[in-house]
C-alpha cells in the first residue's frame, strides 16, 4: 500500500529533468476569478520542492466538467495569475498539446509550465492510452499530487503513470495517504467518526466499512432524517432518501449502540422561514416542517463524545451550514474537533463541504483533506486508481 514518494528520489533524478505533475486545480470560480485558492496553495510545496532541486515542472489538472471539449468557462488560464503570484515566478501556459514537448524542453531549470484543462481532450475521462502518451511526452518522470482526483482512472491520473518512470506520490498526496491511512489502519481509541451532509447514498458504504473499525459513528445532517424515517418517526418535509430507508434500518441493527443519532433537531417550515425555527426531539418533528440542523442537546452530546476521542474523522456538515442560524451545529462540531485536537487527538476532516465549513481554520485540525469523493472512497477501503498506478515504495 505504501507508495514511493517524491522525497525518495535522489537529486540526480530531479536536476534538469522535466516532472509531469498532476495537481488538483479544480478550484471554485466566481466571475472568472478564483474564489478559493486553497487547492492551488496546497500544491505549492511539491512544485517548489521540484524547482529548488533544478527540475522543470509541467503541471496538469482538470477544472470543472466541460462537456467533451474546450470551453472558456473552464479554462485553466483563470488560475494562471493566482498560481504565478503564489510561486513568485512566471508560468508558461500551453494550449497546444502537440507543441507541448518542444515548449517543456525549452523550460529553464526551475521553470514552470501549465497545460490547459486536461478534460478539454476527450480521451481524459476515458483513460485513453494515446492521450496519456501525449501527456507523457511532456516530461521525463511523473508526480501525482492530486488526491482529489485519485479516485478516477483518467489519462492524466492513471494511464500516464504507467508510461513515465519514476512515478511517485507528491508531498500533498503522501500527507493525505498518511493521515487517512493511519487513522484507519491503526487508530488510537476511542475512534469516533462524525458523518453528516445531504446524501446517505454516497456515504452508506462508508458507514458500513467504518462500523467494524470505529467505536462510534455520530450521524447528523440530512442523512440523520433517513435514519429517523427508518425508526418509523415523522420526518415532515425533511430531505430523506426514501430508497435508502431499508438500508438505514439494516444499519441500525448491525450498528447497534455504535450508531449515535441526534437527540433532537432544529426544524422550520422551510429554509426561507428560518425565523420560525425551533428545537424538537428527533421523534417529534412536526408534519410539514423540515430538519435543518442538530439541536443544542445533540451539540452537547456529540461534543462530549468527540472530546473524549483519540481519533476523529469528520465528513459532512451537521446542517444547512450555508444558511445561519442552521450553521450552529456544524460550528459546534468543528469546535469540538478543534478541542479534541488540542487534547492530543488525531483529527481528520474530509469532504468538500466539511472542508469549506472549516476554511481558514485548517491549522486547528491534524489534517483537512483536499479530496471530497476521494477521501470517502478511501475511507470505504476502496483502491484509488491514481494511487495504485504509482510505484510501490
Ligand atoms: P461533503 O461535501 O462534506 O461530503 P455533502 O455533500 O454530503 O457533504 O453534504 C453537504 C450539504 O448537505 C450542504 O450543502 C448542506 O447544506 C446539506 N445539508 C446538511 N444538513 C442538511 C439538512 N438537514 N437538510 C438539507 N440539507 C442539508
Ligand atoms: Mg459535497
Cβ–ligand 1 contact at 319 (below 6 Å): yes
CA distance 370 to 109: 29
In the sheet that 278-281 helps form, which strands lie side by side, from edge to edge?
278-281, 264-268, 290-294
> Over the stretch 69-87, which tens digit does the pLDDT of each residue have?
999 999 999 999 999 999 9
pLDDT greater than 70 at residue 262: yes
How would residue 203 be classed by pLDDT, with cut points 50, 70 and 90? Answer: confident
> Over the stretch 318-345, which tens digit does the pLDDT of each residue have?
999 999 999 999 999 999 999 999 999 9
pLDDT greater than 90 at residue 350: no
Q: How far is the CA of 352 from the centre of ligand 2 (A)?
A: 5
Which one, of 276, 312, 313, 315, lies nearest residue 292 by Cα?
A: 276
Q: Please list the active-site residues.
A: 39, 199, 352, 373
Mean pLDDT calculated for residue range 19-41 = 93
Cβ–ligand 1 contact at 372 (below 6 Å): yes
pLDDT of the residue at 387: 95
Show the CA angle centred on residue 163, arms to residues 157 and 166, nearest 5°.
85
pLDDT of the residue at 381: 82
CA distance 14 to 312: 37
Least confident piece of the model among 14-28, 279-293, 356-370: 356-370
CA distance 278 to 33: 38
Alpha helix segments (H runs only) across the chain: 38-52, 77-87, 100-106, 129-136, 160-163, 171-185, 204-210, 223-231, 245-255, 296-307, 328-342, 352-357, 372-379, 385-388
pLDDT greater than 70 at residue 1: no
pLDDT greater than 70 at residue 88: yes
Which one, of 151, 162, 159, lies nearest residue 126 by Cα?
A: 159
Q: How far is the CA of 141 from the centre of ligand 2 (A)?
A: 33
Cell of 214: 470505529
Calculate what percentage of the chain has a pLDDT beyond 70: 99
Task: Specify the 3-state DSSP secondary structure of 376.
Answer: helix
HSE at residue 136, side-chain half, CA atoms within 13 A, is 17
Q: How far is the CA of 70 from the centre of ligand 2 (A)?
A: 26
Going by the DSSP 8-state scheme, the letter that residue 348 receives in this structure is: E
pLDDT greater than 70 at residue 170: yes
Report pTM: 0.86
Q: Which ligand is nearest to the CA of 322?
A: 1
HSE at residue 349, side-chain half, CA atoms within 13 A, is 28
How would residue 199 be classed by pLDDT, with cut points 50, 70 and 90? Answer: confident
Position in ligand 1 atom list of the atom nearest CA 315: 3
pLDDT of the residue at 129: 98
Cell of 273: 422561514
Calculate what percentage of the chain has a pLDDT beyond 90: 83
Residue having the nearest C-alpha atom to atom 24 of ligand 1: 222
pLDDT greater than 70 at residue 238: yes
pLDDT greater than 80 at residue 201: no
Amino acid at each position: 500500500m505504501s507508495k514511493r514518494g517524491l522525497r525518495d528520489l535522489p537529486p540526480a533524478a530531479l536536476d534538469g529533468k522535466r516532472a509531469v505533475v498532476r495537481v488538483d486545480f479544480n478550484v471554485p470560480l466566481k466571475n472568472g476569478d478564483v474564489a478559493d485558492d486553497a487547492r492551488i496553495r496546497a500544491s505549492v510545496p511539491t512544485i517548489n520542492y521540484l524547482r529548488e532541486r533544478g527540475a522543470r515542472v509541467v503541471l496538469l489538472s482538470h477544472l470543472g466538467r466541460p462537456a467533451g471539449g474546450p470551453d472558456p468557462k473552464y479554462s485553466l488560464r483563470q488560475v494562471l495569475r493566482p498560481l504565478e503570484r503564489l510561486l513568485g515566478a512566471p508560468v508558461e501556459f500551453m494550449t497546444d498539446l502537440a507543441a507541448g514537448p518542444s515548449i517543456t524542453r525549452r523550460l529553464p531549470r526551475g521553470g514552470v509550465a501549465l497545460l490547459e484543462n486536461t478534460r478539454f481532450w476527450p480521451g481524459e475521462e476515458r483513460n485513453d492510452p494515446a492521450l496519456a502518451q501525449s501527456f507523457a511526452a511532456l516530461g521525463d518522470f511523473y508526480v501525482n499530487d492530486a488526491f482529489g482526483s485519485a479516485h478516477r482512472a483518467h489519462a492524466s491520473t492513471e494511464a500516464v503513470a504507467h508510461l513515465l518512470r519514476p512515478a511517485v506520490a507528491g508531498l500533498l498526496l503522501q500527507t493525505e495517504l498518511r493521515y487517512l491511512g493511519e487513522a484507519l489502519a491503526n487508530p488510537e481509541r476511542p475512534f469516533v467518526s462524525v458523518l453528516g451532509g445531504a446524501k446517505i447514498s454516497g456515504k452508506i458504504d462508508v458507514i458500513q466499512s467504518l462500523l467494524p473499525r470505529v467505536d462510534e459513528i455520530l450521524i447528523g445532517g440530512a442523512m440523520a432524517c433517513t435514519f429517523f424515517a427508518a425508526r418509523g418517526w415523522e420526518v415532515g418535509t425533511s430531505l430523506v432518501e426514501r430508497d435508502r430507508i431499508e438500508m438505514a434500518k439494516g444499519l441500525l441493527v448491525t450498528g447497534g449502540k455504535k450508531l449515535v443519532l441526534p437527540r433532537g433537531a432544529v426544524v422550520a417550515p422551510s429554509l426561507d422561514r428560518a425565523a420560525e425555527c425551533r428545537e424538537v426531539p428527533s421523534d417529534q418533528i412536526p408534519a410539514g416542517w423540515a430538519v435543518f440542523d442538530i439541536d443544542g442537546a445533540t451539540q452537547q452530546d456529540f461534543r462530549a463524545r468527540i472530546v473524549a476521542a483519540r481519533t476523529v474523522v469528520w465528513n459532512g456538515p451537521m446542517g444547512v451550514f450555508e444558511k445561519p442560524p442552521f450553521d450552529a451545529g456544524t460550528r459546534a462540531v468543528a469546535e469540538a474537533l478543534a478541542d479534541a485536537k488540542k487534547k492530543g487527538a488525531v483529527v481528520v476532516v474530509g469532504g468538500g463541504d466539511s472542508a469549506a465549513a472549516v476554511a481558514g481554520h485548517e491549522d486547528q485540525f491534524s489534517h483537512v483533506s483536499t479530496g471530497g469523493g476521494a477521501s470517502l472512497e478511501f475511507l470505504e477501503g476502496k483502491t484509488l486508481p491514481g494511487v495504485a498506478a504509482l510505484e510501490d515504495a
